[in-house]
Structure 1
Amino acid sequence: LYLKLVMVQTPSQAVSFSEMETMRRSTSEKEERDYEDYRTDVSFGFRPVTTLNLSYSLSIQAGRPDPGPDQDRRSQAGTLSWTPSRYFGPSLSVSESRQENEDQPETLTRSYSLRINSEPLSTLDLSLGVSRNENYKDDEKQSTGYNYTLYTTAVLFPDLNSSLDLLYIQYH
């Protein structure tokens, strides 16, 4: 915790201080801790034709504190997007994130989403989406949620833009 007050303007009446500092000091015994962190990130994209794009990413992290519990995380995501015209551009995404900490329950989050982008006018962008999110703890489903989104951006004048974002979230 650190607090510092400094006077920025001299008042008309005399002040008996010009600066005040408050600190809290924490002391500890000598402690040693080793930590090894291993990370791997891989991603690739593939475009068989100009209107179709496929992408995938994978991230793996392993933490080995000594002393302390091991921590492992793995995240992966894939997206398939198709843009046949400016009026219609759907994309489908799937992602998964898994976390394993020693002596704790394993957690898993999965997400599936569908988004449709459109530019019906040169001054208007629209995006409509729906996603499903699933949360697990030790392979037992804890919750399921749905997100419904609508994003709009419009150019009203050359130097004036307008945005409207609507989001509805539902969890069970």
Structure 2
Amino acid sequence: MATAYNFIAEWLKLFDCCSCEELYSKLEKIHSEHKPVEGEHVPFSLHDIKHISASDRKDVIIASLNQYWSANKANNLIKESRENPPKESYENPVVHQCSSFTEYIALNTLIPNVDLPGSKYNFVGHGYYSDLFFHMFFGNYSDFIEHIKKLSEEDLKNTVNKREGYPQ
């Protein structure tokens, strides 16, 4: 029972909720706005969340919570990133330390669904990447080679060390 409580407590923290009722209400709102999973409603009940250790739908609940968190976080991240695009860097970034395995899994689900063109929640991507990045991303080999050949040795060194995008 303690592990089920800890599991739900982690999700309550990630969704910034105080109770299972508040979490379920937030999930319903996210579902109506983003439809992160198929169907008319959240694919499990409030009762399933409260009694997750006894639920035969535990796998559905876990997978769905991840999808709902990604949809909600993506919505906020997209707005923030459009207002404040990430700056280019030539240094390795300080890596965000996850406070739990649940947060680690959630973040690894989120990043590919937000930043790049064709992303699940942001189909056009953010558009702040350089032309060289897009040549590489879309596999435009001839454009990539043409771009690289124009660079001096110093510029090439900087280009190879360049960090772009939200996760850098």
Normalising by structure 2, we get a TM-score of: 0.20
Which one has the largest radius of gyration?
1
Judging by fraction of residues, say which structure has more helix.
2
Judging by fraction of residues, say which structure has more strand.
1
